[in-house]
Amino acid sequence: MPRLHLVRHGRAAAGWGDHGDPGLDDVGRAQAAAAAEVLAALGPLPLVCSPLRRTRETAAPIAARLGVEPRIEPAVGELPSPTDDLAERAAWLPGALAGTWADLDHRVAAWRSRLVDELLGLPGDAVIVTHFVAINAVVGWAIGEERICTFAPTNASITVLDTDGRSLTVVRLGAEADTTVG
C-alpha cells in the first residue's frame, strides 16, 4: 500500500494577499531543511511538487537529501481563487476557509477532484510538497469531512496517508500550530 508524505511548504516571504507567487523567507528555508532531514530517513522516493515558488523552494533541500528530481505537478497546486486581484483574493480566503466544499464553485470542486485523483494514482510511496488547503482537501476527502479546514498543518509539517488506489487513509496528521494562511 503506497504511503504518501504530504509536506506543507515552508513559511513564505509574503502572504496570499501580498504577492502572487512568493518564495520562502529565512524561517521557511530553515523549515524546509528540517523537513528534508526527517524525510531523508525514507531513502530515495519520488518527489511531486506544486509549481509555485514556495513549494519548489521547499522541495529543493528534500530533493537533494533524497537524491531525486522533483516532478512539478499542477494538480497538487494551490486552491484556485475567483480572482487574480491580490486584495480581492485575500478578502475572499477567510470566508472560503470557514465554509464547506459545497459552498465553493465548480472550479474548486474540479481542483479537489484532480488533486485526489493525482494522489490516488501514485504507484508507490512518495513525497508531495503542497499547500495548507490542498492538505486539508485530501484529509477531508479521506475522512469524509465537508469542512474545508479539518486541521491547521504548520509550515513544513508532514502529513502521512496510505492509499490503495481507491481510498486514502490518514496515518498521521502533520504538526499543528497557529498558522497564517493568506
Could you report the per-residue pLDDT of 133-168, keeping only the tens digit for each?
Answer: 999 999 999 999 999 999 999 999 999 999 999 999
Question: How much is the pTM?
Answer: 0.94
DSSP string, 84-135: S-HHHHHHHHHHHHTSBGGGS-HHHHHHHHHHHHHHHT--S-EEEEE-HHHH
Q: Which three cell numbers stand for residue 92?
A: 475572499
Does the pLDDT value for residue 17 go beyond 90? no
Please report the pLDDT score of residue 179 as a whole number.
Answer: 59
Model confidence at 181, pLDDT cuts 50, 70, 90, reads low
- Domains observed in the chain: 3-172 (3.40.50.1240)
Could you report the per-residue pLDDT of 92-104, keeping only the tens digit for each?
Answer: 999 999 999 999 9
